[in-house]
Chains A and B, each alone.
Chain A
Amino acid sequence: MTPGEAKPTAAPVRPKPGRRPKFDKAASTTWLLAALIGVGAGATWQLLRAQASPVQAASPTQLVVVDTSGRVMAVYPSLALNSASQAQLGTRVTLAPGRSRSAKASTRAS
C-alpha cells in the first residue's frame, strides 16, 4: 500500500446468525469413501505382515524364526519343531540381543 492510498473499508463477512451452512453431500461422501479405503488398506497390510512373521518356512528342512525387523532369532529343524511341546521349547538354550544386567557371568575369549 502506498502513502495516500485509501485503506480498505470492507468488513469481514460473517454468517448471519440463525442460518446453517449448506450441507455439501458430494464432499462428505468423498471423505467417507477415502476413510473407508484407508482403513481397509491398513487392515490388509496388517494381515500380510502377520502372515510373514514371526515364523516362516526357510527350506523343506528348517524353520527360521525372525522378529518384526527381519532378524533371525532362532533356527529349528522342521521335524524337531513339529514334535516339540511348549515345555520342551522352554528348556532350550536361547540367545537374545543386548547385554543382560542380571547375567551371572560373561563368556569371552581369554
Chain B
Amino acid sequence: MTDQQTARSYRRLPGVHPRATTGSKTSLSFNAMGTTVVIEAQGHYGPAREMAAELRRLETGLTRFHESPVTQLNRAGKLSDPEPVLLEALAWAVEACRLSDGLVTPLIGRLLEWHGYRQSWTEGAGRGAGWEQGQGEQPAVPGISQLRLSPSEVVLPAGAAIDLGGTAKGWAVERVAAGRHDVIIDAGGDVLVDSRQATEVNLLGGAEEWHLTLPPGRWGVATSSVARRAWRGAHHLIDPRTGRPSESPWVQATVVGRSLKRAEVATKLLLFGAPVPAALQVERAWVVDRAGDVFEQDVRGVAHGAASSFVPAS
C-alpha cells in the first residue's frame, strides 16, 4: 500500500489525521483518553495506524464514561469472563496501588463521581452544569485487597466503582508500543520515546519554559497537574486518605523513567507529597509550585517512607 493509499485509509478511522511525513517517519494525531494523542513512527503510515487503532480499542474497553466492560462492572459490582485487556489493566492498577501504599487506587471511582467527575473531560467542561459535588455522605474508598480478580470473574467491594484514570493511559501507551522501536507517542503530555538518538522534550507548565534531553533508548516522561481536569472546588487527584482533593505545595509533577506507566504513578505520589519507591524506577523528577517555579526532586536512593528533599532548579 502506498503512502497516499494509507493516508486515504485514515479517513475510515474517524478523527485520525495524518500530520506529516518527514523522511522515513510519519506522524498522526487523534483524540483518545480525553486528550490529543500524537504518534510518530518509523516507516509508512501502517505502524502508526495500527497503534492508533489499538489505543482506541483499549480506551473503548476501559472507559467509565461510555458503555464498556468497566461501566458494566461498576453497575453490577461484578463481571464474568472479563476480557483479557480489562484483567491486564486492572492487574497493573492493583500493582500500582500496592506500590503507592494505596494512594493511587482503581477503587476511587465512586469518590470521583461524588466530587463531580461523572463525565468525560474536555477543556472547559468543569465550568458547565453537572460537575457539582454529590449530596449525602462522602463514599469511603475500600482497600485494594477487597477487589477480587480472576480470569473467570471480577468482583468489586460492595458499593465500589472502578476508575482507571490514574494508571490506564501510561499502561495503554506502553502496551501499544511494546516491541516497536523508533517511535514517539505523546498522549497528552505522557510521552513514550524510543529512539537511537538523543531526543528533546519540552517541559511546559512552569512560569518559564524548559526542555529535557533524553539519551538514546526507551524513556517515559509523565506529567500530572492539579490545575488541569479541575472544576469548581475540586480536581481529579483525590486523596483516598482524606476523601478530599489532594493538597500539597506542588501543582504539577514531571517524572522521567524507563517505564511510562511507572512514571505516571510517580507523578501522582509527588503531588500527594508522598515518597516515591525505587520500584517505580524514576530517573529524574521535577515539581512546579504555585508560583510556577520548577524544583528538582532527587528521588534516587530515597528509601520508601523517608522524607524527600527538594532542590530548586532555578
Interface residues of A (CB under 8 A from B): 62, 64, 71-75, 77, 80, 90-100, 102-110
Contact = CB atoms under 8 A, between A and B. Distances in A.
Contacts of B188: 108, 110
Given A94-B212, A109-B223, A109-B227, A72 B202 contact: no
Given A107-B222, A109-B252, A90 B215 contact: yes
A88 to B, nearest CB: 10
A110 B34 contact: yes
Interface residues of B, number: 52
B189 A91 contact: no
B204 interface: yes
Given A71-B314, A72-B312, A93-B214, A98 B209 contact: yes
Interface string B169-197: 00000000000000010111111010100
SS class, residues of chain B in contact with chain A: strand
A102 B200 contact: yes
Contacts of B191: 105-107
A64 B221 CA distance: 24
A92 B212 CA distance: 10
Interface stretch (B55-63, B148-156, B296-304): B296-304
Nearest to B286: A95
Contacts of B229: 109-110
A105 B39 CA distance: 10
Contacts of A62: 298, 311
Contacts of A102: 200
Given A97-B210, A106-B204, A108-B188, 4 more contacts: A62-B298, A71-B313, A96-B210, A110-B228
Contacts of B210: 95-99
A77 B298 contact: yes
Contacts of B40: 104
Interface of B: 34-36, 38, 40, 184, 186-191, 193, 195, 199-205, 208-215, 219, 221-225, 227-229, 252, 254, 256, 283-284, 286, 296, 298, 300-301, 311-314
Nearest to B252: A109
B298 A98 contact: no
A30 B214 CA distance: 58
B214 A105 contact: no
A62 B18 CA distance: 47
B237 to A, nearest CB: 10
Contacts of B222: 107
Nearest to B309: A62
Given A95-B212, A95-B284, A109-B223, A75 B202 contact: no
Given A75-B296, A94-B212, A99-B209, A107 B313 contact: no
A98 B40 CA distance: 23
B203 A107 contact: yes
B224 to A, nearest CB: 6
25 contacts: A64-B311, A72-B311, A75-B311, A77-B301, A93-B213, A93-B214, A95-B286, A95-B313, A96-B213, A97-B314, A99-B211, A102-B200, A103-B201, A103-B202, A104-B199, A106-B186, A106-B189, A106-B191, A107-B189, A107-B223, A108-B189, A109-B225, A109-B252, A110-B34, A110-B188
Contacts of B200: 100, 102-104
Contact of B205 (A91, A94, A103, A109): A109
Q: What 10 A-B pairs have minimum CB-CB distances, sorted nearest first?
A: A110-B188, A109-B225, A100-B211, A108-B189, A110-B35, A109-B228, A105-B186, A106-B202, A99-B209, A108-B204
